[in-house]
Chains A and B, each alone.
Chain A
Amino acid sequence: MTLQVSVGKRLKFFDLEVSFTCEDKDMLVMIGPSGGGKTTIVRMIAGLETPDEGRIVYGDEVWFDASRRINLPPRKRKVGYVFQDYTLFPHLSLYRNAAFAAVDKRDVDGLLTLFGIDHLRDRKPDKVSGGERQRCAICQALARRPRVMLLDEPFSALDVVTRRSLREELRAMKSGLSFPVVYVTHDIQEALFLADEILPIVEGKVDRDWMRRTITREPAPGTAPRAVREPRLSLVY
């Protein structure tokens, strides 16, 4: 099935207007400078933000349609959402976090083992490392057997080594997933490593040329060239 998104919203500094599709088993990576609207788009898919106009459809189920006044609440969309920073429930152990919305509790043990955190199952989130928390957040989202998976810079708060190994784990398990995955990052390396399709978002619009301009450091049309050429950290590692 296909996730079809075509939305518009007036934001503070620009108008957001994007439209794209993502097939089952595909990983669509949204990339672009921070503050460009990537997170807003993902939040619209999850139902946490309401677009001013447009449609969001998964398969033949309409999640949002401005003209027909349809707006399915987040809890009915059945998406898996891994946030940028840790949103595990602080009062629950890792196991109970992962099992929080599990369709079948038997999935949970397998997921914890797959992500290598089974030995920490009884610890609370504040007693494990950042990488282990994000692993648990992914388990929590997967145990819900989501129809669409949304990952919003899930590894950006982690150190380089952990980030790299989690990125590799994610790519390895990608082939086993049967649903569309939308992944947000501002890291070009990560995008190239993971994506089936890359969707650059700049100031609320799809800007297909952004990747090339960024890599060659060509200034965007209509902007002044940079006075100082600072090193691109994202290209170093």
Chain B
Amino acid sequence: MEWQAFYVTLKLAATATAVLMVVAAPIACVLAYARFPGKSLVEALLYLPMALPPTVLGFYFIMVLGPRGIAGRPWETLTGQPLLFTFTGIALASVLYSVPFAIQPMKAAFRKIDRRLLESASVLGLSPAAAFVRVVLPNSIGGIIAAAVLVFLHTIGAFGVLIMVGGSIPGVTKVASIAIYEAVEAMDYRAAHLMSLCFLPISYVFLLIANKLGEES
């Protein structure tokens, strides 16, 4: 039973959720309200991580984040640290991997807001950014929490992407899903069983929250 792997999983899921909530909200807002040429192309590109096999995604992440990749090389010169096989690396990969799960519920929630409320806000003197904070966000709390829950669960469940980008370094990149896989490989079914059992209540409670919010909104 590896508690450390659980700690890494939860830390990773919390990081990815926090980052995505901030990054995805403005993107979802643009997708919900703005009209520009090529919008459907951009949207499809953002949803691509959902449609690709995780190993394909992981392979491209290795190419991009590796010491000779377009993101890995400048990162290494800047910080002196590599991206592959580090927590930062798997956090970055998890964020990109879950982008569609953050954007879709938020976009749906933003679109549901009556356009006249936004018109009213602008007539009342609010800039678009102020209207986003004072009118759009408070009226789409349900969608935002749903997005957070989905991202969290999706990150907890990630396996293929993480093993390719992070490997399995205990305490750093070895997450619970990888620990379970390794336990099974080592025929340690007792540990695998215990760890698997831990996932059940977590996932169940989160789904309960998501469904409850869905009903309310």
Contacts and interface: CB of A to CB of B under 8 A. Distances in A.
Interface of A: 46-48, 73-79, 81, 83, 87, 89-91, 100-101, 140, 144
Contact of A87 (B114, B125, B127): B114
Contacts of A78: 125
Contacts of B81: none
B119 A74 contact: yes
Contacts of A79: 123
Given A75-B125, A75-B127, A101-B125, A87 B139 contact: no
B117 A87 contact: yes
Nearest to B138: A91
Chain B facing A: main interface SS: helix
Contact of B116 (A74, A83, A144): A83
B126 interface: yes
A100 B138 CA distance: 14
A78 B123 CA distance: 7
A64 B211 CA distance: 48
B122 A87 contact: no
Contacts of A73: 122
A73 B119 CA distance: 11
B35 to A, nearest CB: 15
Interface string B109-121: 0000010110110
Contact of B122 (A75, A91, A144): A75
Nearest to B131: A75
B119 A48 contact: yes
B48 interface: no
A46 B124 CA distance: 10
A90 B139 CA distance: 8
Closest 7 CB pairs of A and B: A101-B124, A74-B122, A87-B120, A91-B138, A81-B123, A75-B125, A87-B116
B32 interface: no
A110 to B, nearest CB: 19
B135 interface: yes
A75 B116 contact: no
A48 B120 CA distance: 10
Contacts of B116: 83, 87
A236 to B, nearest CB: 31
A88 B61 CA distance: 47
Nearest to B139: A91
A34 B171 CA distance: 69
